[in-house]
Structure 1
Amino acid sequence: MSGWRERAVDRGYQAGWAVVRRAPAGLARKVFDTAGTVAGKRHGGPTQLRKNLARILYTTPAAVPDELMAQAMRSYARYWREAFRLPSTDPAQIVAAVRISDDDAALVDRSVASGRGVIFALPHSGNWDTCGVWLVNRHGRFTTVAERLNPESLFDRFIEFREGLGFEVFPLTGGEQPPFQLLAERLRAGGTVCLLGDRDLSRHGVPVTFFGEPTRMPAGPAKLAIETGAVLVAAHHSYPDAHTSQIVMTEIEVDGVEATTQRLADAFAATIAAAPADWHMLQPLWEADWSAERRERLA
């Protein structure tokens, strides 16, 4: 990305944070809902999102309901609206709007209290920052990893934003140490780690079957759990209505990288199927959709 484009992107995000977080809540919601609806209906909505939703529904892309496409893009727009407004939103307000069953909350409490360390693996669903705010409010600081963004100034802004929420963030690449060992240190000390776990961006992903088709998912959550003895939990966030959000927790049995990652994929599939519109996967995920370049890189 050229210098002027990097500056333009950074300034665009900076303006978004400044404008959206100062706008009246009702106005911001209306603007983002409208934008999401338009994006979901215009020319049938994003082609790759339609393909991905077709897998969840076990149907063809053409058979995916147009209203589901519009709902999915409204959900994605809501994520960005909340992200822009999060720095000025009272964390207590966010926590008060979260719905979680007593059993799932007890699973979190029990896992943290065990002293073994806890890994929460999440799909790209709902707003994972909301899960983080809820977790910080309940159990304090946790550690996560962030993929580097261009421009670097935008990446720094995202890091500052999340650290301001109480997250400890390590860069995926370019840090002083590889993040795996740093995360392992936190877990061995009884800490908590949160990782996005449904899309592999490396050459070391684990083959899994997901909604009946082959893909790969990150090995990190399973490897960390095996190496450190930490508890592994699949966490899912969704939007049951316009004013609340929901967190669902599923403990994952750990007994080998491949088997554990498949169990994680199965847990993701169950919760994503229950709230398909809130899974914000607009990129190719399944092997059938991979580009020739990616196939060659993973060969």
Structure 2
Amino acid sequence: AGVRHAPDGLARAAFDRIGGYAGRRHGGPEQLRRNLARVVGTTREQVPDDLVADAMRSYARYWYEAFRLPAQDLAETAATVDVPAPDRARLDAALSRGKGVILSLPHTGNWDMAGVWLVQNRASFATVAERLRPESLFNRFVEYRESLGFEIFPLSGGEQPPFGQLAARLREGKIVCLLGERDLARHGVPVTFFGEKTRMPAGSARLAIETGAALLPVHHWFTDAPGSMIGCGEEIDVSVGVEAATQALADAFAANIAAHPADWHMLQPLWESDWTDRQRARIVGDA
């Protein structure tokens, strides 16, 4: 509550300092450095310290803005987000077909802020939320995102599996938004990402194939505070099948992340070569 109502300049500066400190202390988070090494095409030792610090400042900004969103005027907040005219046109063209639109994006910038722009300027949308423990934490998380205008389906433990519920929304001509660059489980599709093997969720491509909805890669990144931007890429061709469409989505993510590496908030192991023994055993066992 304190962050929500503190003076913006002071609170934002405090989070920026905390992020910068975390990014420089002992070279910053090790896994973040390893992940950024793939993005900039170097070794972990050669990743610029400034990039790691900027990435942690960006991550701190995400949390700062997430804490404050529920207390903000959402229309005014959405006005700080810029979407170039060609990107708006791609989104509107897809919506005009009436078959639904799937917006798939990586963990970049502030995906909640991107969602607020969408609700305020186009329409509400459906998405999924990973079930958290304890249940009270999950419920607060769902209430928070519903307060922003999002429709939330639990990824597990709900009355129905989310795939069917999302497909129903798409058949109504509505929008579904899904985070799409990390799925280290049996349903993940093997892809090459920045030249190395990993897995990404199949859900976006599967939904598009089953419902006829358009699948568009989306990217959100920060500009000078409090500004930010959303890019909406060309529609992914899903006629090639789930695997090839997911690889095309991975390629779109990679191009956008490479353009804005500091705003990619991936602090966990992503690539196969970084998997823990436990992750590898689970994935191989599931396969």
TM-score normalised by length of structure 1: 0.93
1:277 alignment partner AA: A
* Pairing partner for 1:275 from 235, 260, 283: 260
Q: Which moved more, 1:169-178 or 1:98-107?
A: 98-107
CA contact 2:94–2:214 (8 Å) conserved in 1 = yes
CA contact 2:185–2:282 (8 Å) conserved in 1 = no
| SS of the residue 1:116 aligns to | coil
Counterpart position of 1:239: 222
Counterpart position of 1:254: 238
For 1:197-236, what aligned pairs fall within 5 Å after superposition?
Answer: 197-236=180-219
Deviation of 1:140 (Å): 1.8
| SS of the residue 1:298 aligns to | helix
Counterpart position of 1:4: none
Counterpart position of 1:177: 160
Unaligned residue ranges in structure 1 (runs of 5+): 1-17
Deviation of 1:201 (Å): 4.2
Are 1:90 and 2:73 matched, yes or no? yes
How many equivalent residue pairs? Answer: 282
Counterpart position of 2:50: 67
Deviation of 1:135 (Å): 0.7
| SS of the residue 2:166 aligns to | helix
| SS of the residue 1:148 aligns to | coil
| SS of the residue 2:192 aligns to | strand
Counterpart-to-counterpart distance in 2, 1:242 and 1:70: 17
String of CA shifts for 1:251-281, please: whole Å, max 9, x gaps.
Answer: 2111210010000000000000000000000
Counterpart-to-counterpart distance in 1, 2:129 and 2:223: 27
Are 1:38 and 2:21 matched, yes or no? yes
Counterpart position of 2:62: 79
| SS of the residue 1:115 aligns to | coil
Deviation of 1:241 (Å): 2.1
Counterpart-to-counterpart distance in 2, 1:128 and 1:243: 14
Counterpart-to-counterpart distance in 2, 1:74 and 1:149: 26
Counterpart position of 1:9: none
Counterpart-to-counterpart distance in 2, 1:76 and 1:122: 16
String of CA shifts for 1:46-67, please: whole Å, max 9, x gaps.
Answer: 0000000000011000101111
CA contact 2:82–2:229 (8 Å) conserved in 1 = yes
TM-score normalised by length of structure 2: 0.97
Deviation of 1:240 (Å): 2.3
1:150 alignment partner AA: R
Counterpart-to-counterpart distance in 2, 1:225 and 1:99: 27
| SS of the residue 1:120 aligns to | strand
CA contact 2:217–2:236 (8 Å) conserved in 1 = yes
- Percent identity reads 65
Counterpart position of 1:158: 141
Counterpart-to-counterpart distance in 2, 1:283 and 1:267: 21
Root mean square deviation, CA, Å: 0.8
Counterpart-to-counterpart distance in 2, 1:137 and 1:75: 24
String of CA shifts for 1:206-251, please: whole Å, max 9, x gaps.
Answer: 0000000000000000000000000001110001222310101112
Counterpart-to-counterpart distance in 2, 1:127 and 1:139: 18
CA contact 2:184–2:279 (8 Å) conserved in 1 = no
Counterpart-to-counterpart distance in 2, 1:120 and 1:105: 13
Counterpart-to-counterpart distance in 1, 2:236 and 2:11: 38
Counterpart position of 1:121: 104
